[in-house]
Amino acid sequence: MTPGEPLNIALEKILLKPLLNWKDIDLVVFDVDGTLYDPRRLRLAMLRRLLAATWQARSLDTLRTLRTFRQVREALGDRPEPDFMRLQYARTAAQHHKTEDEVRALTMEWMERQPLPLLAACRYPHLDMLFAGLRSAGKLVAVFSDYPALDKLAALGLQAAPVVCATDAEVARLKPDPAGLLSILRQTGVQARRALMIGDRFDRDAAAASRADMRALIRASKPHPAFETFRAYDDPVFQPMLHRAPSRASAGPP
């Protein structure tokens, strides 16, 4: 999808694409949050921790601040602005009478550090086999996330390279801006037509891939008229790569 291209023409291009053939793919880029692990399971586990902290502090301040921060991030993705890295903290801080540093510390603790020990139990089954199968087939495996991803990948027991995040100084753009995907294409030297984005959101992951002229494969419970979808990582679309995985790879979380 090129800038200014009518949506109907962009969708027509997608609909005319043939079914995914792994022989046509050299690079697979994964999103992280909601794509590599079950977000509902993680949210429930984190909610228990947050409620315990809330009860101990006798205050809903942390819960409310985190909710506002997520809302601000979503809005900045919908309506991109320069310096989103600072604005995400500044706008949250203004609503809760905090400093930007206080919001930064709070979100780092509850959105980056606290979830790490819980991630392995939330990882979707068959992912380690898929990663191993992709590499065995000679495919590059990369990551593009809106949030810092290196520690999360380590906690999930998965490896990828390059790992690019919207918070990287050279990217500084949230999805659906394709800046992160374009950075990965430059780093790997792979042409966009031979790359695949795997994510869980049509309005973020699929849209970013479309803007980078890449294919997208989205985890979803229902089919989508414009994008290819899957339900689980042992779906038929992944079987050719799963069969390439070394036998020592396990089928579930570590």
Model pLDDT for residues 147-197, shown as the tens digit of each residue = 999 999 999 999 999 999 999 989 989 999 999 999 999 999 999 999 999
3-state SS assignment for residue 6 = coil
8 A C-beta contact, residue 197 and residue 29: yes
8 A C-beta contact, residue 237 and residue 248: no
Count Cβ atoms within 10 A of the Cβ of residue 148 and give its class: 0-12 exposed, 13-18 middle, 19 or more buried: middle
8 A C-beta contact, residue 162 and residue 32: no
8 A C-beta contact, residue 174 and residue 187: no
Tokens of 75: 């809005």
3-state SS assignment for residue 44 = helix
- Residue 231 has φ and ψ, to the nearest 5°, of -105, -35
Q: What local confidence, expressed as pLDDT, does residue 107 receive? A: 94
Model pLDDT for residues 59-108, shown as the tens digit of each residue = 899 999 999 999 999 898 888 777 888 999 999 999 999 999 999 999 99
User: Model's pTM, two decimal places?
Assistant: 0.85
In this predicted structure, the answer to whether residue 118 has a pLDDT above a threshold of 60 is yes
Separation of alpha carbons 102 and 143, rounded Å: 29
Q: What local confidence, expressed as pLDDT, does residue 125 receive? A: 97
Q: Where are the domains of the chain?
A: 7-37+124-242, 40-119
Separation of alpha carbons 38 and 67, rounded Å: 19
Angle (nearest 5°) at CA 113 between 163 and 52 = 150
For the domain covering 7-37+124-242, report its CATH number: 3.40.50.1000
- Give long-range contacts, CB 8 A cutoff, 24+ apart: 96-101: 96/61, 96/64, 96/65, 96/68, 98/65
Model pLDDT for residues 207-220, shown as the tens digit of each residue = 999 999 999 999 99
Q: What is the DSSP string of 224-237?
A: -SSSEEESSTTSGG
